[in-house]
Amino acid sequence: MRLLVLPGDGIGPEITAAALPVLRAVSNRFHLGLQIEEDVVGHESLRRRGASVRPDLIEAVRKADGLVLGPTAAFEYKDEINPSMFFRKSLDLFANIRPSRTYPGVKQRVGAFDLVVVRENTEGFYADRNMESGGSEMLVTKDMVISLRRITRVCCARIARAGFELAQRRRKHVTLVHKANVLKLGDGLFLEECRNVARDFPGVSVDEVIVDAMMAHAVRNPQRFDVIVTTNMFGDILSDLTAELAGSLGLAGSLNAGDHHAMAQATHGTAPDIAGKNVANPFSLVLSIALLLAWHGRRKKLKDFETAAAAIESAVEAAVAAHEATADVGGKLGTREAGGALAKRLGG
């Protein structure tokens, strides 16, 4: 498996440097034969190459078997390309898979739970990806903005199928989150397509929850949920909420997946306030890489990759329980040291 690694901005280079020994350790232990190539995007690419994403980089990504992207500074790019958005759109990474689970050793705010938010990644209210001509926000007058949302049958159907396929591997329960009581056409179409897909999965139970009520249910009783399928903006907000309820965004892995490509990407941002201080938690990126390895294993029918991914997840759980982690999850180690200790657990 050829992996292209792009460290990104802020804490990105630190957590990537801490994650790579883990990746090499698991490759050696399970004989994965990983080939790891590094390049730059974001501010480092601007400094070296004059662009946040150089034109030929997308071809290098397409030739790789997977992409690892560190956090990138979306708000800081004005006339430059946002790397995260660029790869999601260019590679048609329509499914954003965001697990949230509690860990022994981390204070539990609402009790133990284990769920996954499956978020549509390519349309909705996100102005940078839902119009062929560019942004979907219009400044009509200096005092008036109109924002457009795109919802399509094909995108609703494929994110629903991704969620139901995942539920079949878990506890066989899907929750559809929507606002069809107000957004009758858009979210109505989303529900219609999800219900159509559900017919292909008779062994999976389904319920439907309005998004504002869902926020209350997630806080009150997250244990009732298994796989949550929803549209782009609702999924973005809900997955951050559930990650924090689980203990920390530093333990929240994330995979952006399509039919032919996938990108591991930590859920959190660049955290410039702690960049360079060796305190950032590398485990979100490590867990994202585990999701990427499992995706590749299922796609290529390579069981060793799925086994390696499970080993990473188990090692993270053990490390957190033993306080071999950063301070945000009760540990006493720095970024580099947490990555090194985890690699050692995996045989590195």
Show which residues are catalytic.
126, 179, 212, 236, 240
What are the structure tokens assigned to 138, written together? 């219009």
Q: Which residues, at least 6 apart from 215, have a Cβ–Cβ distance to it below 8 Å?
A: 238, 241
What are the structure tokens assigned to 291, written together? 């999701």
DSSP string, 44-59: HHHHHHSSSS-TTHHH
| DSSP H helix total and E strand total for the chain | 11, 12
Q: Which residues, at least 6 apart from 122, have a Cβ–Cβ distance to it below 8 Å?
A: 88, 89, 92, 93, 94, 129, 130, 155, 232
CA 300 – CA 36 distance, rounded (Å): 18
Task: State phi, psi for 169 to the nearest 5 degrees.
Answer: -90, -5
Nearest one of 305, 199, 309 to 253, comparing CA atoms: 309
What are the structure tokens assigned to 150, written together? 């795109």
CA 296 – CA 19 distance, rounded (Å): 18
Q: Which residues, at least 6 apart from 138, have a Cβ–Cβ distance to it below 8 Å?
A: 145, 146, 147, 148
Residues in the chain, overall count: 348
Nearest one of 193, 69, 174 to 118, comparing CA atoms: 174
R_g (Cα) of the chain, nearest Å: 20
Q: Determine if residue 134 is left, alpha or beta; phi over 0 gives left, psi from -120 to 50 gives alpha, anything else beta.
A: left
CA 4 – CA 182 distance, rounded (Å): 43
Asked if residues 27 and 55 have their Cβ atoms less than 8 Å apart, the reply is: no
CA 178 – CA 265 distance, rounded (Å): 25
